Structure 1
Amino acid sequence: MLAVLAVREKGGVEGQIGYFRRNHFVPVPEVSSLAELNEMVEQWDRQDDARRIGSRSRTIAEDFALEQPLLMPLPAEPFETGRLFTPRVDRYGQIPVRTNRYSVPIRLIGKRVRVILHASHLVVYDQNVEVARHERLIAKGAVRLELDHYLEVLVRKPGAFPGSTALEQARSAGKFTPVHDAWWTQAMKTHGERDGTRALIEVLLLGRHMPHEHVVAGLAAALRAGAMTADAVALEARKAAQAETEPAPDSRAVGQPPATVTSLHEWRLAHLPPDTRPLPSVSHYDQLLRRRRTSGSGHREGEAQ
């Protein structure tokens, strides 16, 4: 009976797919990402729940509510729907997947990795550890690079950083913000182009164990105070993280001193336990000096006699 039901409903399902395509994909919508398109499709789907098919008395949502209890439960174990690839990482830290290329951490150069390609994204594994995740590229011959994958080599060769494609894509994706650019510009004025760029890359490395918004807050605070070091940014990022967990101060308070940036060395000293040991004394050495003077004067008196 299920087979007969499936055959009977097949034409209706295909007809509704055509209806959806004609009403929502003609003309083709312009979006910036697959995620944005999926959100639009979900919104159209919810709108269709209130629609009636033909002369039926119930809406699509009402019919589904009647059929839902009759559906079989989902399997307890997830079923992998992605397609498996095992490409080798080239010397540029990239892997080919279908007609496009994606970056992985440069430490994997020369190794084979496992890639699970889904409809909207792909996940890269080194053995059983996830090492990269990208939104799937649609256009042929495109390249998607993650700036974080190249930081280890860029910190040794900071001259390659300004013109890198990974930096350009990070800017386009909003991961490299105007705050990053402003701090970088000031750091180059303070330390020189090479050392200032290296300091910025060290700041970007903080993003591996700190949330992005905290690092940006740390950059903004350090920029206001003129602190152009990665240590200062790290400290201010930690302050931003602590501020989220602590109650906000009374905004009506006045006369508060302006915010300052504390060096990491001073912060560490301030958090050391109190030292209760007595101060050192040099009195014993003073006794040796007095004894030496006494013996020296007696020797000179003997020589005079």
Structure 2
Amino acid sequence: MELWTEVRRRVLTGELSRRQAAEEYDLNYRTVAKACEHVEPPGYRRTAPRKRPKMGAYLPRIAQILEADKRAPRKQRHTAKRIFERLRDEQGYTGCYESVKEAVRAYRQGAQEVFLPLSHPPGEAQVDFGYAYVDLAGERVQVALFVMTLPYSDALFMQAFPRECTESFQEGHKRAFEFFGGVPGRISYDNSKIAVTKVTGSRGRQLTREFLRLESHYLFAHHFCLVRRANEKGKVEGLVGFGRRNFLVPVPQVDSLEELNAELAKRCEADLDRTLRGKSQSKRELLAEDQQAMLELPKQSFDARRVTQASACGLSLVRFDTNRYSVPVAHARRPITIVATVDEVRLIDAGRLVAKHSRCWKREQDVYDPVHYLALLEKKPGGFDHARPLEGWGLPGCFDELRRLLEADGLGTREYIRVLRLLERFELKPLADAVDYALDIGVIDADAIRVIAEHRREEPVALFSLDGRPHLRTVDVPATDVSAYGSLLTAGLEGDAS
């Protein structure tokens, strides 16, 4: 570089001619001419593409294979090695693998799409789901990660749910709006079946009823990306991975998803104190500008749930989401309305709540409430010890003692079932206390236990309070003179005698 600079300086300042410089420095005349044209050595430049005597004839076939791959499943597309093997076996290619790999790389680089950076005004959001693994109660399970971000401030909110479904989609929105302190005016989504029933053109969408109910409650506007164009919501796409790497590494060990979600909310809150490259303010400060452009939270709380219809079968079970949930036998073979949230399943018959279960997220499970089958067992007491809904029913020990005494006295299993049916009216703890008391006093029939339980449930009459009634404090009520009743009795006897 020093020689290049000296030759260039002396020739261009007129100290030497190009020919003199070539002779003095023992350089080719073309090299001196090149030094005069370029500030620094331009390096080797090929005037024509390098010839490929073996590979050239196969380039159209490589392009054909890679074009066809665009219509193949993503995980079943050709690698450079597989293309090399096909060219060798099908067309007699005798060149090396490196030449094929270089040709494939060059084609793919030329076909890669270039994206336009987008601006994001305050008050807009993007939503997506991702997946991660957690150790839940000692078992490694996959969870769905709901992520909402505000691209202007880069504020992030993440929650974990057992599965991506309508209930988790709605519950995620509800928690995110409460976390951000407002409702974004516009939210971008991909074309998930949770929200979209049909794509009707590049931007046209038919939306699900539950998504429209969510939108109607919070009054935000929606924006759905073009099909296979997730780059339109690239902020949230990147933050799904960011949250997974930074909030869920190492793999969390928790007893419940509620515990995990509380920790995720804390992490998202702490993340607001970061200042990103190119930003002059922290996420928290920019979030304040986002909030000014947001809609206010509705005064009425949103019920994040899915409603569907089913019928109870002859086993008094209602199928929902691959599982079956029990209802009282009186509602068997009847149409049932199912209202499901992420935590529970409510079963309604003719507008009346008849059963409520904790949501089961496993598959092909039967979820029983033993109380639902007691009315049937009272008619068929012989099946009591073999009834599947009663398997593993952890009743207190006093119930076993009660059954032993009832069978010893000849009252039998039917009377014991009558006692258990009191669980239709009383909680387990109060009824167990009543059974304990009945055993202590030696009264063990169902009617006596019912009376004891009802008596214990009655609240004593509260004392009349003078608080706020100062005028009543001056009232003096004299003590009753019991002897006055004696005179009344005497007068009554004299009247009868006359």
TM-score bucket of the superposed structures, by smaller chain = 0.5 to 0.7
Say if 1:217 and 1:236, in contact at 8 Å, map to a contact too: no
Is the counterpart of residue 37 in structure 1 residue 257 in structure 2? Answer: yes
Q: Which residue of 2 aligns with 1:261?
A: none
Q: What is the one-letter code of the residue matched to 1:218?
A: A
Question: Does the CA-based 8 Å contact 2:153-2:287 persist in structure 1?
Answer: no
CA contact (8 A) 2:123 2:292 kept: no
Aligned length: 234
Once the two structures are superposed, the pairs formed by residues 75-90 of structure 1 within 5 Å of their partners are 75-90=298-313
Contact 2:323 2:365 in 1 (8 A): yes
1:233-280 residue CA offsets vs partner (Å, 9 max, x unmatched):
1222234334x7589xxxxxxxxxxxxxxxxxxxxxxxxxxxxxxxxx
1:143 is matched with which residue?
366
Tell me the equivalent position of 2:412. 196
2:486 alignment counterpart: none
* Cα distance, 1:83 vs structure 2: 1.8
Aligned to 2:333: 110
Q: Percent identity?
A: 22
Report how far residue 44 of structure 1 moved.
Answer: 5.8
CA–CA distance in structure 2, aligned partners of residues 96 and 53 of structure 1:
47
Distance across 2 between alignment mates of 1:69 and 1:216:
56
Matched, 1:229 2:445: yes
Cα distance change on mapping 1:47 and 1:80 into 2, 3 Å:
closer
Q: 1:135-185 deviations in whole A, cap 9, x for unaligned? A: 1111111110111211110111112122222222532xxxx2223223223
CA distance in 2, matches of 1:240, 1:40: 40
Contact 1:190–1:228 under 8 Å retained in 2: no
**Bigger shift: 129-138 or 232-241?**
232-241
Partner of 2:274: 54
Contact map agreement 2:122 2:290 (CA 8 A) in 1: no
Against the structure 1 CA distance between its residues 75 and 222, is the aligned structure 2 distance closer, same or farther, given a 3 Å change threshold?
A: same
Cα gap change, 1:183/1:46 in structure 2, threshold over 3 Å: closer, same or farther?
farther
Distance 1:4 1:67, change over 3 A: closer
State the alpha-carbon separation in 1 of the partners of residues 292 and 151 from structure 2.
21
Are the structure 2 counterparts of residues 52 and 69 from structure 1 closer, same or farther at C-alpha, using a change threshold of 3 Å?
Answer: closer
Structure number with the higher strand fraction is 2
Aligned partner of 1:83: which letter? R
Higher relative contact order (CA 8 A, sep 6+): 2
The residue type equivalent to 1:27 in the other structure is V
The 3-state SS of whatever aligns with 1:166 is helix
Task: Tell me the amino acid that sits aligned with residue 209 of structure 1.
Answer: R
Question: 2:251 pairs with 22, 27, 31, which one?
Answer: 27
State the secondary structure of the residue aligned to 2:361. coil
The amino acid of 1:211's aligned partner reads E
Partner deviation per Cα, 1:189-236 (whole Å, 9 max, x = no partner): 232xxx432222212222222333211100111122332211221222
Q: Which runs of 5+ in 2 are unaligned?
A: 1-120, 126-149, 158-235, 463-498
Within 5 A, what are the aligned runs for 1:65-80?
72-80=295-303
Higher share of residues assigned helix: 1
The answer (yes or no) to whether the contact 2:313–2:333 under 8 Å persists in 1 is: yes
How large is the RMSD of aligned CA atoms in angstroms? 3.6
Alignment CA distance shift 1:177-1:70 (3 Å): farther
Which piece of structure 1 moves more, 40-49 or 99-108? 40-49
TM-score, structure 2 as length reference: 0.40
Larger radius of gyration: 2
Query: Within 2, Cα distance between the matches of 1:59 and 1:180?
Result: 59
Question: Does the Cα contact within 8 Å between 1:50 and 1:59 map onto a contact in 2?
Answer: no
* In 1: Cα distance, 2:432 partner to 2:317 partner: 28
Question: What is the rounded CA distance, in whole Å, between the counterparts of 2:249 and 2:415 in structure 1?
Answer: 48
1:8 aligns with 2:224: no
Structure 1 residue 48: Cα displacement = 6.4
Aligned-residue offset at 1:102: 0.6
* AA matched with 1:182: E
